[in-house]
Structure 1
Amino acid sequence: MELKGVLEYLCSIANNLSNCGVYYSRQLYFKTGKTPSSADLHKQLGTIQQNKHYQALYSDTAQQILTTVAESFKSYVGLLKGIAKGKVSQKPKLPNYRQSGGLGLATFTGRSIKLKDRMLRFPLGTKVKVWFGIDAFYLPMPSNLDFKAIREIRILPRNRQLYAEFVYEVSFVKVDVDKSKVLGIDHGLDNWLTCVSNFGTSFIVDGLHLKSINQWYNRSIAKIKEGKAQGFWSNRLAAITEKRNRQMRSAVNIAARIVINHCLDSKIGTVVFGWNEGQKDSANMGKKNNQKFVQMETQKPSSYSRKLPRLYPHEQS
């Protein structure tokens, strides 16, 4: 069975199991006002119901998916309590189902994965072995990572591609800094990051290049979608979106390194980042400026992603 087919099947089963967990959690909440713990979901779908989607996945992978569902409902209840205490202003929505027939995230813990001849072995569920005669799939081990440091590997569907996202442990380096030295950061558009310290140093991280990237992206998307039906999407649109997202993540990395290097050189021990509530989703600077400001990223996931080989060729038209 081809790697592409295995991974698509894996992520489709992950999507289905997630929906099963959401269904059970929603029904329990509607009937009792309570939400299940991750252990409850594991027991209900894995032991009592013997859910076929659960059995098609390796046990650790299935449990990780249901744990994520349980945590989303726990967060929902936590936000409701925050509203009651006046700490949260926006009303949260009860976690809903993923798109039917879609692909979901599949997570393998470090203890599930084996390394042999520089290839990573990912186990599959017992049902897959019965149905298809395979019990695992393999991916090459990245040369720049230490296998023993890997804590999780996530098979992540995004923009019509599949990615292997590595979560690994890094060692911390203790540095000599002064916490009384403070760097304040305000983010904007042309001046993406304006940084000023309390002892006279300052610098600006330019945002013009990022504005140019986003303008190209918006023009390209608008041109391709012109005359198309609402919700139109294609491999070309996915490729453009992925390129833009990669450029933005790279820019965030570079900007963060500039700030950290300045802090290390000046022994700055405290960084204050300006963040106003609603500044992204409630900005009122006009349609054009709102779009520019919202698209200027200021955070990203702190994990390492590596594209899987030859899975979904981009459409060239």
Structure 2
Amino acid sequence: MYGCQQVLLNPDKELAAVLEFICTEANNLMNCGIYYARQIWFKRRRIIGKYDLEKEYKNNKHFQALYSQAAQQALRTVSESFKSFGGLMKAFRKGMVADNPRLPKYLKKGGLSAVSYPKQALKIKDGQIRMPLGKLVKTWFKIASFFIHKPSNLSFKDIKELRILPRNGCFYAEFVYLLPSVTADVDSSRVLGIDPGLDNWMTCVSNVETSFIVDGRKLKSLNQFYNKRVATIKLGKAQGFWNEELASLTERRNRQMRDAVNKAARVVINHCLQHRIGTVVFGWNRRNKDGIELGKKTNQEFVQIPTARLKNRIEQLCEQYGIQFVETEESYTSKASFLDNDPLPVFGSGPEGWKPSGKRVKRGMYRTKNGEFVNADANGAANILRKVEIQLGLDLAKVCRAFLTAPSRVFLWNSKKTRTKGRGFSPSRSILLESPASLHFVRGQV
């Protein structure tokens, strides 16, 4: 299993010019490859082969401006995208994919694309990594290579690939490295159910007498501020308007989202390791954001929260620590009463006249058949466990009302403990994220 670490580069003018040049050449080369691959499809209805683009463009000036292996990686990225398109076309014809796939489109003219260097192209010198340039660059500018600092927490022998990523006016060095295998002391019969949401980004309930909520209101606030600033700046401007201020705002917002995803995923994994939980069940309805109609405001909040990326990050960490990750659909989990053991049909196949015995009476409050009140999202998380109870052979006897009523609340960014009443029925205990998860970014000097 491989991991990635991104380092924000602070290049001087000379290095910034080199980075911008190679990213521009990579963008131009990829557009050349896309053009050729599209023509092959239009004329012959054939998907381009893995090495066809390299043979076609080995004498191209954009190819020769890049280091040969970096140029090959750029063209293989194009061929892989067309290969994926071909696979989706086959799946669409068989009725396995709902939407008709489209051919890969051209990249923005004059834009910047990522440049990848495999390990064998890299050399270490005085604690810096040497990255070679292409033949034409050596001829034109008399520059053979450039250097970037190696992160102190990575060994050079562990690095498998290095990518230069241009994003919103910034350059990042992304180091791909082999993650060490981790043997965790976990038990697969111990399970954690996760119900994703908005104010409560993740509500987690286990069968080992624990429950907690990862707060999502700060995330909504960050998105709201970003959208308000973007709307103000774009007011009265032409469609497609973009400037440095918008790029800076977008980059800041994206970093905050990545930080939140990493911290929230680490909260879940640390909880699993602490309580020897060996199975994580994530409730997820595929395509749940397509054509959603929750109102203009809620639509914006729901669609922009990166819950899918959070799910993928939790899955990656589960794989690293040997924890089983299970994804299940979550239809009727919010309506059905866990304590009353209501049936949980699959969406679209429920029995005629099905009605839950309990009811969600207000935001955060669920009333059971006997008039008992529990946290609505905790009730949903427990029902997600019931969805796979028989399939995984789970024992949910310890999931009781006590842990569905007042789950602990985890704040990802708070600097001090606070006790919040919350909206509706949410008598949750506040918990600090005591040791922040390792950030996705390491700021470095070049």
Structure 2 length normalisation: TM-score?
0.66
Q: How does 1:119-268 map to 2 (within 5 A)?
A: 119-268=128-277
* Distance in structure 2 (CA, Å) of the matches to 1:140 and 1:221: 34
Secondary structure at 1:37's aligned position in 2?
coil
Closer, same or farther in 2 for the Cα pair 1:140/1:153, shift >3 Å? same
Closer, same or farther in 2 for the Cα pair 1:308/1:237, shift >3 Å? farther
Secondary structure at 1:143's aligned position in 2?
coil
The residue that corresponds to 1:97 in the other structure is: 106
Which residue of 278, 292, 302 corresponds with 1:293?
Answer: 302
Task: Decide which moves more: 222-231 or 21-30.
Answer: 222-231
* Contact residue 56 and residue 127 of structure 1 kept, 8 A: yes
Closer, same or farther in 2 for the Cα pair 1:306/1:175, shift >3 Å? closer
* Distance in structure 2 (CA, Å) of the matches to 1:283 and 1:274: 18
The residue that corresponds to 1:37 in the other structure is: 49
* Distance in structure 2 (CA, Å) of the matches to 1:236 and 1:274: 38
Secondary structure at 2:176's aligned position in 1?
strand
Give the letter aligned to residue 267 of structure 1: R
Give the letter aligned to residue 91 of structure 2: G
Task: Decide which moves more: 140-149 or 16-25.
Answer: 140-149
The residue that corresponds to 2:334 in the other structure is: none
Q: How many residues end up aligned between the 2 structures?
A: 307
Does residue 1:6 correspond to 2:15, yes or no? no
* Distance in structure 2 (CA, Å) of the matches to 1:200 and 1:84: 48
Please state how far the C-alpha of 1:114 moved relative to its aligned partner: 0.8
Structure that is richer in helix per residue: 1
Deviations 1:281-300 (A, max 9, x none): 33221110010011111216
Closer, same or farther in 2 for the Cα pair 1:173/1:308, shift >3 Å? closer
Give the letter aligned to residue 239 of structure 1: S
> Bigger radius of gyration, 1 or 2?
2
* Distance in structure 2 (CA, Å) of the matches to 1:39 and 1:107: 17
Closer, same or farther in 2 for the Cα pair 1:259/1:165, shift >3 Å? same
Deviations 1:254-289 (A, max 9, x none): 111110011112211111212212212332211100
Give the letter aligned to residue 65 of structure 1: A
* Distance in structure 2 (CA, Å) of the matches to 1:75 and 1:173: 32
* Distance in structure 1 (CA, Å) of the matches to 2:70 and 2:172: 16
Closer, same or farther in 2 for the Cα pair 1:165/1:304, shift >3 Å? farther
> Aligned residues: percent identity?
56
* Distance in structure 2 (CA, Å) of the matches to 1:158 and 1:152: 19
* Contact residue 149 and residue 444 of structure 2 kept, 8 A: no
* Distance in structure 2 (CA, Å) of the matches to 1:232 and 1:243: 19
Which residue of 278, 283, 287 corresponds with 1:278?
Answer: 287
Closer, same or farther in 2 for the Cα pair 1:307/1:25, shift >3 Å? farther
Please state how far the C-alpha of 1:244 moved relative to its aligned partner: 1.1
Deviations 1:180-217 (A, max 9, x none): 22212111110000112244422111111111111111
The residue that corresponds to 1:315 in the other structure is: none
* Distance in structure 1 (CA, Å) of the matches to 2:139 and 2:244: 34
* Distance in structure 2 (CA, Å) of the matches to 1:60 and 1:232: 36
* Distance in structure 2 (CA, Å) of the matches to 1:110 and 1:183: 39
Closer, same or farther in 2 for the Cα pair 1:309/1:103, shift >3 Å? farther
Secondary structure at 2:51's aligned position in 1?
helix
Structure 2 portions without partners, runs of 5+: 1-12, 314-438
* Distance in structure 2 (CA, Å) of the matches to 1:83 and 1:249: 32
Task: Decide which moves more: 157-166 or 253-262.
Answer: 157-166
* Distance in structure 1 (CA, Å) of the matches to 2:236 and 2:48: 46
Secondary structure at 1:2's aligned position in 2?
helix
Structure 1 portions without partners, runs of 5+: 311-317
The residue that corresponds to 1:78 in the other structure is: 87
* Distance in structure 1 (CA, Å) of the matches to 2:112 and 2:104: 17
Deviations 1:213-255 (A, max 9, x none): 1111111111222222221111111111111111111111111
* Contact residue 194 and residue 282 of structure 2 kept, 8 A: yes
Closer, same or farther in 2 for the Cα pair 1:133/1:119, shift >3 Å? same
The residue that corresponds to 1:314 in the other structure is: none
* Contact residue 11 and residue 105 of structure 1 kept, 8 A: yes
* Distance in structure 2 (CA, Å) of the matches to 1:251 and 1:304: 10
* Distance in structure 1 (CA, Å) of the matches to 2:257 and 2:175: 19
Give the letter aligned to residue 62 of structure 1: A
The residue that corresponds to 1:28 in the other structure is: 40
Secondary structure at 2:84's aligned position in 1?
helix
Structure 1 length normalisation: TM-score?
0.92
Give the letter aligned to residue 32 of structure 2: C
Please state how far the C-alpha of 1:38 moved relative to its aligned partner: 2.0
Closer, same or farther in 2 for the Cα pair 1:307/1:72, shift >3 Å? farther
Which structure 1 residue ranges, 4+ long, deviate > 4 Å from structure 2?
300-310
* Distance in structure 2 (CA, Å) of the matches to 1:106 and 1:122: 11
* Distance in structure 1 (CA, Å) of the matches to 2:442 and 2:114: 15
